[in-house]
Amino acid sequence: MCVPFAIALAVLAIELSPAHFIYTGPFLAAVPALAAVTMGPKGTTSAAALAVAISVTTATYNQAWASLQVYTNFLALALVSVAAFITSRAVRTRRRSELDQVRRIAVAAQDVILRPVPERLGPVRAASLCLAAGTGAQVGGDLYEAVRTRYGVRMIVGDVRGKGLNAMRAVAVALGAFRDAAHYEDELLEVMDHCAAALLREADVPGAFDQEALMEGFTTALMAQVPDTPVVQLINRGHPPPLLLHQGRVQALMPAEPLPPLGLEDLITDPPEKPESYPFVPGGRLLLYTDGVIEARNRDNDFFPLPEAMESIGADTTPPEFLEQLHQALIRHTEGHLADDVAMILVDRLA
């Protein structure tokens, strides 16, 4: 991107030196042409303006206004600048169209994998929300699911490190393992281990992930189980803690024994024997979310105050209405510019 400006400065240095007899007109005409290839319309306009300024400066410095060559150079520079501006706009439009198409395909693939949760799951009412960041063509690695089983309602929310194809593959593997194991494994810990093992097996498949992503990748995950008794059981593998809203106050259900994300099982020295249990009585609301929610920033670089936003929403709202109000609060906070994908599941405990 700096090449056009470097050429312009080189021409200026030549014209202001004893070597000004060198014909530099074609070099200045190339400045807006090169800018059209590497920059947008604004960059092309800036490069053309710089080339014109240099041409005027050198013609005045060398007292060359009486030469017909100067006017010929100006005409050539003007024609090339106009053509470069039109080309840069066409290139920008085509690139934006291609990016939007790739983005739509990626979001469609994400929608197939991340299906909305049912509105009623046994002892809870539920709702889910997934928002794409809206920048770039690569979707993130957020995942969620909620299913009703004979053991109670089992849920997972997770975040695969990275974006793009590798992240989506890991999301599909983790969700496939959860959807299968959630119905057959007696213990929630076994369901989490099943997901971890599935990710490790997929990592061993040649060509499944690129080597760099394999060396750096891991998945944070939170699993929750809501049985018929008024409790919620949690297993947290490096994920943001869920938030419990009850009687207008929000409580973060922090893990007593923090565990590393999936993929970092070697760091576990004392595996837990059972999930951690917390009271979850009728009238309570439990929010599971990804870090894209709490790490969303405004123009002052302040994080989104999720607990305060939850407490400000009326208790008479349904789960879909509650998530929609959180969505609007998040959009207002970031002014519509999400830096990361967002996924949330909200469940209401029924009597």
* 145 and 39 in a common domain: no
When pLDDT is cut at 50, 70 and 90, the band that residue 138 belongs to is low
Compare 58 and 168 and report the one with higher pLDDT: 168
Q: Which residues, including other chains, have CB under 8 Å from residue 290's CB and lie 6 or more apart?
A: 142, 144, 157, 158, 159, 239, 240, 340, 341, 342, 343, 344
Mean of all residue pLDDT scores within the chain: 80
Asked if residue 121 and residue 46 are part of one domain, the reply reads no
28-32, 145-149, 205-209, 304-308: least confident range: 205-209
pLDDT at 211: 42
Q: Global pTM?
A: 0.71
More confident residue, 181 or 200: 181
Q: What is the mean pLDDT of residues 290-301?
A: 89
Lowest mean pLDDT among 135-139, 193-197, 220-224, 326-330: 135-139
Residue 28 is inside which H or E element, if any?
helix 25-38
Tally the domains of the chain: 2
Query: Within this chain, do residues 254 and 305 fall inside the same structural domain, yes or no?
Result: yes
Higher-confidence residue of 116 and 279: namely 279
Using the 3D structure, point to which of 104, 131, 152 is the last residue of a domain. Answer: 104
Least confident of 94-108, 255-269, 276-290, 302-316: 94-108
In this structure, the answer to whether residues 122 and 84 fall within a common structural domain is: no
Inside any domain, residue 214: yes
d(CA 73, CA 37): 22
In this structure, the answer to whether residues 199 and 139 fall within a common structural domain is yes
Q: What is the pLDDT of residues 248-290, one digit of tens each?
A: 999 999 998 889 998 888 887 878 888 999 999 999 999 999 9
Cβ contact 290:159 at 8 Å = yes
Average pLDDT on 70-98 reads 73
Residues 168 and 306 in one domain: yes
Same domain membership, residue 308 and residue 263: yes
> Tokens 């200026």 appear where?
12
Query: Based on the domain organization, do 252 and 145 belong to the same domain?
Result: yes
Does residue 65 sit in the same domain as residue 121?
Answer: no
State the pLDDT confidence band at 341, using cuts at 50, 70 and 90.
confident
Q: Which domain holds residue 53?
A: 3-104
Q: Looking at the structure, do residues 155 and 244 belong to the same domain, yes or no?
A: yes
342 and 293 within one domain:
yes
Q: Which of 73-77, 195-199, 262-266, 270-274 has the lowest mean pLDDT?
A: 73-77
**136 has a pLDDT exceeding 60:** no
Dist. CA 235–CA 260, nearest whole Å: 11
Is it the case that residue 24 has pLDDT exceeding 60?
A: no
Residue 306 CA to residue 294 CA, distance in Å, equals 6
- Domain ends where: 85, 104, 123? 104
**Co-location of 226 and 312 in the same domain:** yes
Residue 215 has pLDDT above 50, yes or no: no
- Mean pLDDT across the stretch 64-71? 60
Quote the pLDDT of residue 213. Answer: 45
The neighbour count for residue 99, using CB atoms within 10 Å, is 12
What's the pLDDT score for residue 324?
94
- In CATH, what number is assigned to the domain containing residue 135? 3.60.40.10
Q: How far apart are CA 238 and CA 260, in angstroms?
A: 5
User: Of 53, 80, 104, which residue sits at a domain end?
Assistant: 104
